[in-house]
């Protein structure tokens, strides 16, 4: 019956083992489980904070990108507007230069016409005087008498008027 003794259960041994188990469980819970749980909670809070910061940074980057795109499109519109304005100004300036040049050319032409008309009148007066002098001399020789200056002028004027009418 010795073999029964090996299998026998000692109640005190079981109770001491259970007491050791409960004591070990309480010690592990107090000194190991709570600090580990606290470290895990701290770590989770840090990770959640990093996620929140990353989300805020992403949102900020999206906002900045949208603002940059808006500024870029605004700058492009401003450049287009400036180019359009420069083109319009250049066209106006070109038209103004052409108009000024046309006015100057017209003025030069008018002045040249006026000068030509004056020269023509001057030349006609000179020719008229010369014709008067020559015709007076010829008339004196032909008539053999001297004509009065007034008779002479009337005859020459009627002759020249006849020539002027034919032209």
Q: Could you read off the pLDDT of 67-119 as tens digits, one per residue?
A: 998 888 888 888 989 999 999 999 999 999 999 999 999 999 999 999 999 99
Full-model pTM: 0.41
Task: Identify whether 72 is part of a domain.
Answer: yes
Q: What is the distance between the terminal CA atoms of the chain, rounded to a whole angstrom? A: 175
Task: Identify whether 154 is part of a domain.
Answer: yes
Question: In which domain, by residue range, is 109 found?
Answer: 8-166
Task: Identify whether 3 is part of a domain.
Answer: no
Residue 159 CA: distances (Å) to CA of 28, 29, 129, 156: 150, 149, 13, 5
The number of distinct structural domains making up the chain is 1
Task: Identify whether 29 is part of a domain.
Answer: yes
């Amino acid at each position: 019956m010795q073999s029964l003794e090996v299998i026998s259960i000692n109640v005190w041994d079981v109770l001491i083992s259970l007491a050791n188990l409960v004591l070990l469980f309480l010690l592990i819970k107090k000194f190991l489980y709570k600090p580990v749980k606290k470290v895990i909670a701290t770590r989770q809070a840090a990770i959640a904070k990093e996620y929140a910061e990353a989300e805020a940074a992403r949102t900020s980057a999206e906002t900045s990108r949208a603002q940059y795109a808006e500024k870029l499109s605004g700058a492009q519109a401003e450049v287009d507007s400036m180019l359009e304005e420069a083109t319009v100004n250049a066209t106006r300036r070109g038209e103004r230069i052409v108009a000024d040049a046309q006015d100057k050319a017209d003025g030069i032409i008018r002045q040249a016409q006026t000068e030509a008309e004056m020269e023509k009148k001057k030349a006609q007066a000179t020719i008229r005087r010369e014709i008067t002098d020559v015709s007076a001399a010829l008339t004196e020789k032909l008539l053999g008498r001297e004509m009065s200056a007034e008779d002479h002028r009337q005859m020459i004027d009627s002759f020249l008027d006849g020539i002027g009418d034919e032209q």
